């Protein structure tokens, strides 16, 4: 397995330390590197939405360590984070991916086929809130990853938490919003939504949460 050549997105970690961590972390495999390249070629600047190598690997490791078999992702794009989750789930796992964009998720479908994980991934195209509200109400997930439109996060969290098993994890991406969550000044709709959700989660008696300065901020929430 190659070591990472660092395709990381850590806005808050000192460069040399980040490079050192990259050099001492397992790197992406050939298919993951290929998906990063195809995403850059076909989506241009939007490729910046992909999670970093380290975050993808962290999710893969967590999912595998939990023995998770049922997962959901809100915000799939070209399938890079979903591929990592699916690898962690193993052959008997099921990952429900939610996105609105056919063009981007067609790239994802190809990559999942090439990686031999498409059997364990179900993609639903449409607003994620509609998809979530159409799901049965009972517990049905071990792991969830939220990485879509920021104003939607509070609703996604509300819908997912009751469907998560005790001990299960919800990871939320971009919870530092480039640092703009700090301070009380007037903020964009995105920043305001994430600020109030961060405040809500840390006081939510149903969970334990650790917010990591990885990428643009990654909140790892465990349901009690
Ligand atoms: C940041 S990207 C996801 C990146 C992906 N997790 C990865 O690492 O490659 C956000 C995605 O959310 C999708 N999205 C935006 N609004 C949405 C909504 N209301 N419902 C479902 N998906 C949505 C976009 O189409 C986009 O693909």
Q: Got the DSSP string for 158-207?
A: HHHGGGEEEEEEEEEE-SSGGGTTSSSS---HHHHHHHHHHHHHHT-TTE
- From 149, 152, 174, 178, give the residue whose CB has the most ligand 1 atoms within 8 Å, as the site to mutate: 149
Distance (Å, rounded) from C-alpha 109 to C-alpha 113?
6
Give the rounded percent of residues in the chain with a pLDDT score beyond 90.
Answer: 92
Q: Determine the distance separating the centroid of ligand 1 and the alpha carbon of 73, expressed in angstroms.
A: 9
Confidence bin at 8 (pLDDT 50/70/90)? confident
94-99 sheet: strands from edge to edge:
121-125, 94-99, 70-74, 141-146, 164-173, 218-223, 207-212
Q: Does ligand 1 have an atom closer than 6 angstroms to the CB of 51?
A: yes
Is the overall model pTM greater than 0.75, yes or no? yes
Q: Does ligand 1 have an atom closer than 6 angstroms to the CB of 77?
A: yes
Q: Does ligand 1 have an atom closer than 6 angstroms to the CB of 193?
A: no
What per-residue confidence (pLDDT) applies to 3?
Answer: 44
Q: Does ligand 1 have an atom closer than 6 angstroms to the CB of 101?
A: yes
Of 22-36, 121-135, 176-190, the one with minimum mean pLDDT is 176-190
What per-residue confidence (pLDDT) applies to 88?
Answer: 98
DSSP state of 93: -
Res. 24: pLDDT tops 60:
yes
Res. 2: pLDDT tops 50:
no
Structure token pair of residue 10? 């850590």
């Amino acid at each position: 397995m190659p070591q990472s050549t660092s395709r990381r997105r850590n806005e808050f970690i000192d460069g040399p330390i980040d490079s050192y961590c990259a050099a001492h972390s397992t790197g992406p495999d050939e298919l993951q590197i290929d998906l990063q390249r195809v995403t850059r070629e076909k989506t241009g600047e939007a490729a910046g939405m992909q999670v970093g190598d380290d975050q993808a690997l962290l999710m893969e490791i967590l999912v595998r360590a939990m023995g998770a078999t049922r997962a959901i992702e809100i915000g799939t794009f070209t399938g890079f984070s979903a591929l990592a989750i699916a690898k962690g789930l193993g052959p008997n796992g099921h990952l429900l991916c939610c996105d609105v964009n056919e063009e981007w998720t067609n790239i994802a479908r190809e990559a999942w086929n090439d990686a031999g994980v498409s059997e364990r991934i179900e993609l639903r195209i449409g607003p994620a809130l509609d998809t979530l509200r159409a799901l049965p109400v009972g517990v049905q997930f071990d792991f969830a990853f939220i990485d879509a439109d920021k104003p939607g996060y509070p609703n996604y969290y509300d819908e997912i938490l009751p469907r998560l098993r005790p001990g299960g994890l919800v990871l939320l991406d971009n919870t530092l919003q480039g640092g703009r969550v700090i301070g009380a000044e007037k903020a964009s709709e995105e920043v305001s939504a994430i600020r109030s959700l961060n405040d809500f989660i840390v006081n939510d008696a149903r969970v334990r949460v650790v917010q990591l300065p990885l990428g643009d901020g990654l909140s790892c929430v465990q349901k009690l």
